[in-house]
Amino acid sequence: MPELNLTSAPAHLRHGSSIGQPLTRRDGVLKVKGQATYAADNHPPGMLFAVMAVSGIAHGRVTSLDVAAAKRHPGVVDVMTPDHKPQLAIDPEIKTNPFVFRMEVLQSNEVRYANQPIAVVIAETLEAATEGAVLLAPRYEELPALVGVDAGASFVPPVVGVGNPTENHRGDVEAGLASADKQIDAIYETPPQYHNAMEPHAIVAHWDGDGVQIDMPTQGLMLSLARVAELFGIAHDKIHIRSPFLGGGFGSKGLMAGPPVLGLMAAKLVGRPVKLVLRREQMYGPVGHRAPTRQRLRIGADGEGRLTALDHHARTVSSTFDDFYEPAADASHTLYAAPAIRTSHDAVRVNTGTPLFMRAPGEATGSIALESAIDEMAWACGMDPLAFRLKNYAEVEPITGKPFSSKALRACYDQGAARFGWAKRLLQPRQMRDDSGLLVGWGMGTATFPALMFQAQARAVIRRDGAGVMEIGAHDMGQGAWTALAQIAADAVGLDIDRVEFKAGTSDLPDAGIAGGSAHTATAGAAIHSAGAAVIAKLADLATNDERSPLFGAGNAGVIARDGRLIRRDDESRSESYAEILARAGVAEVEARGTGAPNPAAMEEYAMHAHGAVFAEVKVDPELGQIRVTRMVGAFAAGRIVNPHLVKSQLFGGMIWGMSFALHEEAITDRRSGRIMNANLGEYHIPVNADVPPLDVITVEEHDPHVNALGIKGVGEIGITGSAGAVANAVWHATGVRVRRFPIRIEELLTQR
Amino acid sequence: MKQFDYVRPATVAEAIAAAAQPGATYLAAGTNLLDLMKGNISRPDRLVDVTHLDGLDGIETLADGSVRIGALVSNADLAHDAGFAKAYPAVAEALLSGASAQLRNAATVGGNLLQRTRCAYFYDTASRCNKREAGSGCDARDGENRTHAVLGWSENCIATNPSDFCVPLVALDAIVEIEGRNGRREITLDELHRLPGNTPERESALEPGDLIVAVRLPPAARGFAAHARYLKVRERTSYAFAIVSAAAALRIENGKVAEARLALGGVAAKPWRARAAEDVLRGVAPTAGVFQEAAWRALTDAKPSGDNAYKIELARRIVVRALILAAAGTPARIAALPASPFASTSGAIHA
């Protein structure tokens, strides 16, 4: 059994064998039987249905709504409009903190983007509310829409991502480029993309006096609760949010968006519980997306293939009324050891819903451009792409010069390349064919994602019967938190996993922070780990201070918590069960709280990132241009792997998303109207099963004593990075055509025969 | 959604009477219609559900060697009918390349013939569309139109017909049996779909109340079984409409093409029979050179309707490839990835 000796010189140890086990997800049976209750599955008595009417134009204002026609429709109860709505306690335009985004909750007739909510129809049935929304037949005063990355004058935003500097540099990039033997100067474009979680945004809102019960998928229970509290002017303890399961979030359910607030307002307006679920096309507007980018990379290399300079500039867009800037160029900070690096961003404002975090924000968009450009430079230098990357391997973080807390990327390259058979790759493009004459290409990309930590609390209890309880308001978006965090909880209190009641997913539990940034397992796990330590310490105090206990006097020697017993560290023959300790002490239970938080000292000292290497094979029809990925291998080093089974699934998902980025995903925006023309899952292409080849994931062992108490780096987002570039580079290797606009389209490959 | 009457007639005659009323429309599996209704694109007053009518779900071989397919036969049942797939392999391959397994299980033969275009501007009710609302204008013409028509389009409409099934059917001279207010009549499938001209809202030759009851393949259609293929280029391996597709069928005698059939999908408002290209092939040896010439003839009249000039070159290449595949002979089994350029890729699982 691995020893969980993870805090400095603890008096007591905990032994467990749950962490590291490939347990199948504990909520799996509920889900396959349809018994997992998602938000929209809740139907409180008397519930009404609310349907949003959304704007058909992208810019202007609503001049009329036929409210009377909607109200005449049988079953319609009320129509909420800017003129008829409950008042909010604060102006939704006010940003009370950087994690608050402006939203459209009928505060005016202004239209700032297509699919913006302009009214809400509330009815006895979903059908009646839907038809009521149609009958509103809105009229508009339309203004020209700003569309695309060239829509207007660019500006330099104050920050990108979450508080990242807009510009970074180290060394003299211009001098590095001037001294280079080889130069690449290329522009890459990525399209707007939408999260498209399987489960649409939904809320069931049930006011009871001045309190409210909310069923709503959220990646941030307490952030959502705080936003509801300030918008409606009610105390935190009057709000209860349940979010036990999310059908995917990917960043779009992290912060409170307008539509669930409209559901709360509608319920308040009519004095009955209300359900509001977004239609698929309504998710292309008010709930965030990944902004398009146009990225310019200038790279220099010397005669031996060593980078002399790396200049990465990203243009992106934000909305006309709020600020989120895809930090695409920041992807060039960590991977390649250029002596001179500069990253910069600018932006234009367009008529769009405000862009938001979408799975690997910045890293995904930046990675496909950077990995393509690195591939181009390897070819320019006449080098194998892997050899080129190894030649420029960063031993310290290039942009800061800090050492890495751990970095097993070399092992990822080695193991991934060996599994893929990379050594047999021909250097020249368009040289490999299969038996049926299809072009074959092999490409690779390096994956990276920061190892982040947020803030979380947990509460641990040991009960009289010797069983444990672990409480944390954590979020399961499908990634497996119900399982992985329960595994950490079991080891945290020295019990078998089936002896620990794990509670998560509601806002009355301790704050687990946000499930984002690939940091949820690390952050919530650290809180659980520390709560477990605290409760075991309390239990040990009860025993070691009681002369009737076989552990009496072991306070200094310390105990080991294992299988529901405390055992003297220096004499394993002396032990006592949790139940015996509590029974004799005459207490029903002991409880303690713990915290997970970043360690500023470690962050100051070390650069902390997960890494990986992805290898892809594609086949391309030489005449017809259709592309098919036929094989992918990803090797990832992400610190401690809590559950190898779930982690593989996460990495598979990321790799598929990367392939989707390179070949499929694009929100097609009408250049005149600013409307998304493929706002549905039939036409917004993501890979279907038949597109997904055999995937092979290797988790490379990596021990990191610095990132957090458990050594976890997170795997939620890294799979996309590297993968998108690997597929794009494989397409080049297959065809000899370098496509720099993503997704790669058939017509780009028809230029040659 | 809009409230509507739901009628379930007991006989074809009752169905026709019910559907002849203004605002009525037939409902079969609804794989297209229900989406259109939910999206507020179609707002019928009355649905006439024909799925319970007797006698429309059979596949029968007639005395003269033709085959008659009832309008309610599902796409999946037809494609998996061993006798049918052997006699008309390109039709089976086209069916299996369409939609998803779930949709093929539900979708009917008659419904497939009448599915609506996938033009995004037709589906987006905030955009102008002459097909959806006659005379309102066409926002596709100067819009996002890289997948739109290159043949037979007009300034009023550049939409395409999305059917895979119809492409080999039109190549094989399929006949559509229609019951209407004035009794039964037959037209060729080529006559069923209309080009847009000045009236893109009129998509077919059907009159109010007309019910497609069967599709018939004439005796000659069997003669191509040994050399018939469907090829479909799309942007993912399954569950995507064709950018361009082609059905090619050859009757080869003594090393020469006795008769050729060729049709294109995804290029026009109707499945596009390429008769001029067929003429090029008649009586000559099946060589790459003559296939190239046929491809050029097939696309002689093509012109871009927007950002889609590539579709013309792609269509030529698809024609050549489909002819090469057909000349090579119909495979004993339909590939795991039907109609795909990757049909030969090993390890592929069924789409």
Q: Are A109 and A61 in contact (CB under 8 A)?
A: yes
Q: Is A479 helix (H, G, I), strand (E, B) or coil?
A: coil
Burial class (CB in 10 A: 0-12, 13-18, 19+), B33: buried
Say if the Cβ atoms of B236 and A690 lie within 8 Å. Answer: yes
Residue B189 forms part of a structural domain: no
User: What is the per-residue pLDDT for A2?
Assistant: 42
Residue B197 C-alpha from the chain's centroid: 20
Confidence of residue A99 (pLDDT cuts 50, 70, 90): confident
Question: What mean pLDDT is predicted for residues A627-650?
Answer: 97
Paired tokens of A634: 């990803």
How far does A350 lie from chain B, in Å, by closest CA? 18
Q: Are A568 and A574 in contact (CB under 8 A)?
A: yes
Q: Which residues in chain B are contacts of A664 at CB distance < 8 A? A: 235-236
- Fold assignment, A13-36+453-597: Aldehyde Oxidoreductase; domain 4 (3.30.365)
Whether B211 shows a pLDDT value over 50: the answer reads yes
Listed by start position, the domains of chain A span: 13-36+453-597, 39-144+198-283, 401-452+604-749
Using one digit for the tens of pLDDT, what is the confidence trace for A137-169? 999 999 999 999 999 999 999 999 999 999 999
Query: What's the domain range around B254?
Result: 224-328
Residues β-bridged to residue A54? A117
Q: Cβ of A685 under 8 Å from any chain B Cβ?
A: yes
Cβ–Cβ pairs < 8 A, chains A and B: 117
Whether A6 shows a pLDDT value over 70: the answer reads no
b/e string for B269-288 if b means 16 or more Cβ within 10 A? bbbbbbeebbebbeeeebee
Euclidean distance between CA atoms A89 and A67, whole angstroms? 26
Query: Which of A114, A623, A688 lies closest to B236 in CB terms?
Result: A688
How many other β-carbons are positioned within 10 Å of the β-carbon of residue A84? 12
Using one digit for the tens of pLDDT, what is the confidence trace for B260-295? 999 999 999 999 999 999 999 999 999 999 999 999
Question: What mean pLDDT is predicted for residues B316-342?
Answer: 95
Q: Is A407 helix (H, G, I), strand (E, B) or coil?
A: coil
User: Which residues are CB-contacts of A223 (< 8 A; sequence separation ≥ 6)?
Assistant: A99, A254, A255, A256, A514
Query: Which of A435, A664, A750 lies closest to B314 in CB terms?
Result: A750
Say if the Cβ atoms of A131 and B1 lie within 8 Å. Answer: yes
Query: Which of B144, B236, B318 lies closest to A670 in CB terms?
Result: B144
Q: Are A651 and A657 in contact (CB under 8 A)?
A: no
User: What is the per-residue pLDDT for A9?
Assistant: 57
Q: Which residues in chain B are contacts of A285 at CB distance < 8 A? A: none
Residue B98 forms part of a structural domain: no
How many folded domains does chain B comprise?
Answer: 2
How far does B179 lie from chain A, in Å, by closest CA? 33
Question: Among residues 356-395 of chain A, which lie with CB inside 8 Å of chain B?
Answer: none
How far does A676 lie from chain B, in Å, by closest CA? 9
Which of these, A407, A404, A396, lies nearest to A602 by C-alpha position? A404
Say if the Cβ atoms of B233 and A624 lie within 8 Å. Answer: yes
Question: Among residues 71-130 of chain A, which lie with CB inside 8 Å of chain B?
Answer: 74, 114, 127, 130
Mean pLDDT for all residues in chain A: 96
Whether B328 shows a pLDDT value over 80: the answer reads yes
Paired tokens of A165: 């500097």
Using one digit for the tens of pLDDT, what is the confidence trace for A205-244? 999 999 999 999 999 999 999 999 999 999 999 999 999 9
Whether A691 shows a pLDDT value over 60: the answer reads yes
Q: Mutate one of B35, B119, B236 to test the A interface: name it (highest A CB count within 10 A).
A: B236
User: Which residues are CB-contacts of A320 (< 8 A; sequence separation ≥ 6)?
Assistant: A59, A112, A113, A146, A349, A350, A351
How far does B8 lie from chain A, in Å, by closest CA? 21
b/e string for A688-719 if b means 16 or more Cβ within 10 A? eebbbbebbbbbbebebebbbbbbbbbbbbbb
Going from the C-alpha of B249 to that of each of B84, B91, B166, B323, the distances in angstroms are 16, 10, 14, 7
From 3.40.50.620, 3.40.50.2300, 3.30.365.10, 3.40.50.300, which CATH number describes the A401-452+604-749 domain?
3.30.365.10
Which of these, A102, A138, A284, A290, lies nearest to A717 by C-alpha position? A290
Query: Which of A688, A745, A750 lies closest to B313 in CB terms?
Result: A750
Say if the Cβ atoms of A670 and B341 lie within 8 Å. Answer: no
Residue B231 forms part of a structural domain: yes
Question: What mean pLDDT is predicted for residues A465-469?
Answer: 98
Confidence of residue A4 (pLDDT cuts 50, 70, 90): very low
In percent, the amount of chain A with pLDDT more than 70 equals: 99
Confidence of residue B1 (pLDDT cuts 50, 70, 90): confident
How many other β-carbons are positioned within 10 Å of the β-carbon of residue A501? 14
Q: Which residues in chain A are contacts of B344 at CB distance < 8 A? A: 435-436, 438
Euclidean distance between CA atoms A43 and A47, whole angstroms? 6
Nearest chain A alpha carbon to B313: A750
Whether A98 shows a pLDDT value over 90: the answer reads no
Residues β-bridged to residue A110? A61
How far does B35 lie from chain A, in Å, by closest CA? 11
Residue B135 forms part of a structural domain: no
User: With a cut of 0.90, is the ipTM above it?
Assistant: yes
Euclidean distance between CA atoms B271 and B94, whole angstroms? 13
Whether A531 shows a pLDDT value over 70: the answer reads yes
Whether B351 shows a pLDDT value over 80: the answer reads no
Paired tokens of B184: 């039964």
The one-letter amino acid code at B276 reads: A
Query: Which of B233, B235, B342 lies closest to A685 in CB terms?
Result: B235
Classify strands A274-277 and A202-208 as parallel, antiparallel or unpaired: antiparallel
Q: Do domains A13-36+453-597 and A401-452+604-749 have the same CATH topology?
A: yes
Q: Mutate one of B299, B345, B349, B350 to test the A interface: name it (highest A CB count within 10 A).
A: B345
From 3.30.390.50, 3.40.50.720, 3.30.365.10, 3.40.50.300, which CATH number describes the A39-144+198-283 domain?
3.30.365.10
Nearest chain A alpha carbon to B99: A682
Euclidean distance between CA atoms A277 and B214, whole angstroms? 41
How far does B181 lie from chain A, in Å, by closest CA? 33
User: What is the per-residue pLDDT for B82?
Assistant: 96
Euclidean distance between CA atoms A288 and A194, whole angstroms? 7
Whether B349 shows a pLDDT value over 80: the answer reads no
Nearest chain A alpha carbon to B316: A624
Confidence of residue A752 (pLDDT cuts 50, 70, 90): low
Residue A199 C-alpha from the chain's centroid: 15
In percent, the amount of chain B with pLDDT more than 70 equals: 98
What CATH number is attached to the domain comprising B9?
3.30.43.10
How many other β-carbons are positioned within 10 Å of the β-carbon of residue B82? 8
Nearest chain B alpha carbon to A114: B126
Euclidean distance between CA atoms B196 and B194, whole angstroms? 6
Which of these, A96, A352, A322, lies nearest to A223 by C-alpha position? A96
Using one digit for the tens of pLDDT, what is the confidence trace for A390-434? 999 999 999 999 999 999 999 999 999 999 999 999 999 999 999
Question: What mean pLDDT is predicted for residues A343-351?
Answer: 98
Through-space distance between the first and last CA atoms of chain B, rounded to whole angstroms: 33
Say if the Cβ atoms of B235 and A436 lie within 8 Å. Answer: no
Residues β-bridged to residue B178? B185, B212
Euclidean distance between CA atoms A500 and B84, whole angstroms? 60
What CATH number is attached to the domain comprising B285?
3.30.390.50
Confidence of residue A11 (pLDDT cuts 50, 70, 90): confident
Please report the sign of the dihedral spanned by the C-alpha atoms of residue A288, residue A289, residue A292, residue A296. positive
Whether A97 shows a pLDDT value over 90: the answer reads no
User: What is the per-residue pLDDT for A1?
Assistant: 38
How far does A358 lie from chain B, in Å, by closest CA? 23
